[in-house]
Amino acid sequence: MGKLYIIIKNYLKNKYAKALECLKTLNKKEFGVLVTVQILMFSAIYIFNNLHPYIEELRFKRMETISGRILIFFLLSLLVFQIIFLLYIAYQFIKYKPIPSVSNDTLPNCTIIVPAYNEGELIYHTLKSIVNSNYPNECMEIIAIDDGSTDDTWYWMLKAKGELGKRITLYKQYQNKGKRHALYKGFIASKGDIFITIDSDSIVEENTIRNLVSPFIIKPNCGAVAGNVRVLNKNQGMIPKMLNVSFVFSFEFIRAAQSSLGFVLCTPGALSAYRKEAVMNCLDKWINQQFLGQFSTIGEDRAMTNLILKQGYDVLFQKEANVLTNTPIAFKNLHKMFTRWGRSNVRETLMMNKFIFKDFRLKNKFGARFIFLNQWVKLLLAYPVVILMFYFLLTHPILYLSAALTSIFIFSSIKVLFFTHKYNFIDSLWAYPYSILYLFTLFWIFPFSIATVRNGGWLTR
């Protein structure tokens, strides 16, 4: 606690450099305490500065009705629930420990599957990064599938094979069938005990594959592992810089906390690993999955995660298994990507209803259900929150903007603090414009995803 006192003392004396220097020396427990204090402090400031005057104003003008009292109760309940959930996630984050890498003689045989569609030269660099891994050659099989590309992707795949030899097996689908079908072809052709999927615009580090598969050896009930996705093109514009901070928080905080419960909700397409037995148990259901009478073509990663969780396996996150991936640089592609993710999230949250309240696993059922409940709260409140936003914006514009900006400051500051502790302060500041961008230009994504959930288009292709 002495370090925390020094940080606060230096901060209050405007000695920010010393405060940041001390911040970097905190261990995970101390950092977790600091995050908890931040959440409580900012929440108290938010309530005092925003909710109190709001309640007082509406109390005299509008809150004499029963509906008004219900609205106040609803807003306060929502705030309390979110604070409790954040504190719970912070506690689970403190408990998280990445799995150490195992020795060569215990590493399993693995098959790395790389589906590609119109990636051009990027697929060449992806395959080279995989081959350059420090994983034993005799234990690693690489399969790359061209899913009906119309550009020069196949040329670059042939070039990679020409340079890298028999270690790479190539398949070509002359018609674009979608990523799910490309992965399916890889799964049924694989010989390894562990299946690894990597996007064709992603680069893995030297130790990534080794770190990714180690949990399967140490944790017998591990059915899948999510890699740590970072932004490769973060210097290509404002959007990648903002996503860089967002990804770090989403993976190294949120997924790390979920991993403590063995309940990571989504193994990302950019980098994930699966136990062969777990995949084969649900492969037919996965490839033939339908939603509202249509075959599913999006959300293949979230769908596979759901089916593996349903079997009672743990799904973990491995912080040291890093992959660098390209992200959108234009707003148009950004909102399309978020829309696709939103539709997948809605679909798989509904699908999770079928098993989450059954005896589907031996431990951590409460934590899994609490995470699921938070997903449902977001789903149920998507439209009411947007309606309230426009109501307050029209009736109390200054109050709404003040409350919105205060909320941005609260939750973005948590991201800034987290990113600063892990990486650097300057890049962390992109959390603030990202939150503003999302609140004022992307708020419609989730409600729109719910309304168009039946649409299975990839959008960004």
pLDDT at 47 over 60: no
Can you tell me the distance from the alpha carbon of 8 to that of 16, in angstroms, rounded to the nearest whole number? Answer: 10
Mean pLDDT confidence for 171-199: 95
Q: What is the pLDDT of residue 461?
A: 56
Q: Which residues contact 438 (CB under 8 A, 6 or more apart)?
A: none
First to last CA, the chain: 51
Q: What is the pLDDT of residue 250?
A: 96
Q: What is the pLDDT of residue 444?
A: 94
Q: What is the pLDDT of residue 51?
A: 53
pLDDT tens per residue across span 321-355: 999 999 999 999 999 999 999 999 999 999 999 99
pLDDT tens per residue across span 109-163: 999 999 999 999 999 999 999 999 999 999 999 999 999 999 999 999 999 999 9
Which has the closest alpha carbon to 212: 138, 273, 126, 258? 273
The class that CATH gives domain 104-363 is: alpha beta
pTM: 0.86
The CA distances from residue 314 to 111, 216, 308, 383, 396, in Å, are: 20, 10, 8, 33, 47
pLDDT at 59 over 70: no
pLDDT tens per residue across span 75-116: 778 878 888 998 999 999 999 999 999 999 999 999 999 999
* Beta-sheet pairing, 194-198 with 271-275: antiparallel
Mean pLDDT confidence for 179-190: 96
Can you tell me the distance from the alpha carbon of 301 to that of 304, in angstroms, rounded to the nearest whole number? Answer: 5
- Decide which of 360 and 65 is more confident: 360
Can you tell me the distance from the alpha carbon of 109 to that of 186, in angstroms, rounded to the nearest whole number? Answer: 15
Every domain of the chain and the residues it spans = 2-96+369-451, 104-363
3-state secondary structure the chain: CHHHHHHHHHHHCCCHHHHHHHHCCCCHHHHHHHHHHHHHHHHHHHHHHHHHHHHHHHHHHCCCCHHHHHHHHHHHHHHHHHHHHHHHHHHHHHHCCCCCCCCHHHCCCEEEEEEECCCCCHHHHHHHHHHCCCCCHHHEEEEEEEECCCCCHHHHHHHHHHHHHHHEEEEEECCCCCHHHHHHHHHHHCCCCEEEEECCCEEECCCHHHHHHHHHHHCCCEEEEEEEEEECCCCCCHHHHHHHHHHHHHHHHHHHHHHHCCECCCCCCCEEEEEHHHHHHHHHHHHCCEECCEECCCCHHHHHHHHHHHCCCEEEEEEEEEEEECCCCCHHHHHHHHHHHHHHHHHHHHHHCCCCCCCCCCCCHHHHHHHHHHHHHHHHHHHHHHHHHHHHHHHCHHHHHHHHHHHHHHHHHHHHHHHHHHCCHHHHCCHHHHHHHHHHHCCCHHHHHHHCCCCCCCCCC
Say what percent of the chain tops pLDDT 90. Answer: 67
- Decide which of 113 and 28 is more confident: 113
